[in-house]
Structure 1
Amino acid sequence: MVEFMEKVVTAASEGEELTVEERNLLSVAYKNVIGARRLIEQKEESHGNENHISVVRDYRSRIEKEFSDICDGILKLPDTKLVSAASSGDSKVL
């Protein structure tokens, strides 16, 4: 869903604002991606198996890298497309 919403933002004409529904879908897409990874990390931590600590640490490192990449992706969108087209307060807040 994130990839699709990034395409929607990229395809928007220069100076064209996203609709309320498009902004909400973009927000939900990123929220779901982050939430799913956070849940996986919490589940692995809760197992608490000492024999797998190095595996869990490696996995956590990979998840943190994914978080960073995802956040970088959403942070680039406002700079490149969303802010320049925003005219209403709601659009600017997103």
Structure 2
Amino acid sequence: MVSAREEFVYMAKLAEQAERYEEMVEFMEKVSASVDGDELTVEERNLLSVAYKNVIGARRASWRIISSIEQKEESRGNDDHVAAIRDYRGKIETELTGICEGILKLLDSRLVPAAASGDSKVFYLKMKGDYHRYLAEFKTGQERKDAAENTLSAYKSAQVFSHLICFVD
């Protein structure tokens, strides 16, 4: 009999093959919820990372394209187009924020606290830094400053743990 956890992992792999990354994220979030305080396996950890990386990567690419178009339209003085583009960029930014907040919450509430091995702790802290960095790419003002500070903090923590692993080994 296959466990629910194994079934979710299998479905995440299927979703990956079908390039349905949003569903892959959902399956991997179910895996994370099913481990009950245990650590994810290396395979599960990598599947989670791939799922989120693909979901966020598509939105980041969209944001860069729209931002570039916005700059071109601004330089041409097409104010009507600029207003529409800003609204559209705002929609993408809302999606980016939701994705980043989703994985950051999962990292803080489950994954980092459950990380028993140094390797997994470093992996998750680096991941945390990455998603704060993605927020810093499009946020402005204090939100950008906070995201940048959180990025640096997470990367520094990952570096400290990485050095500790090397020292212990």
Category of TM-score, reference length = shorter chain:
0.7 to 0.9
- Choose which of 5, 10, 34 in structure 1 pairs with 2:33: 10
Code of the residue aligned with 1:76 in structure 2: it is K
Report the CA distance between 1:43 and its aligned residue. Answer: 2.9
CA pair 79-60 structure 1, distance change in 2 beyond 3 A: same
Higher RCO by CA contacts (8 Å cutoff, separation 6 or greater):
1
Structure 2 contact 25–52 (Cα < 8 Å) conserved: yes
Amino acid at match of 1:2: V
Matches within 5 A, 1:41-80: 41-47=63-69, 48-49=72-73, 50=78, 51-80=80-109
Task: Give, as a single letter, the amino acid of the residue that structure 2 aligns with 1:90.
Answer: D
TM-score by length of 1: 0.84
TM-score, scaled relative to structure 2: 0.50
For residue 82 of structure 1, report the CA deviation from its aligned partner: 1.2
Instruction: Compare 78-87 and 61-70 and name the one that shifted more.
Output: 78-87
- Could you list the per-position Cα deviations for residues 17-76 of structure 1 after superposition, in whole angstroms to 9, with x for gaps in the alignment? 111111111111111111101222233344445352111100111111111111111111
After superposition, the CA RMSD in angstroms is 1.7
SS at structure 1 position matched to 2:40: coil
- Structure 2 stretches lacking a partner, 5+ long: 1-23, 125-169
Larger radius of gyration: 2
Aligned residues: 93
What corresponds to 2:48 in structure 1?
26
For residue 5 of structure 1, report the CA deviation from its aligned partner. Answer: 1.1
Q: Which runs of 5+ in 1 are unaligned?
A: none
Task: Determine the C-alpha separation between the residues in 1 that align with 2:65 and 2:100.
Answer: 22
- Could you tell me how far apart the structure 1 residues matched to 2:121 and 2:65 are? 36
Secondary structure of the residue aligned to 1:34 is helix
- Structure 2 partner of 1:86: 115
* CA distance 1:83–1:38, shift in 2 (3 Å): closer
State the 4+ residue runs in structure 1 displaced beyond 4 angstroms.
none
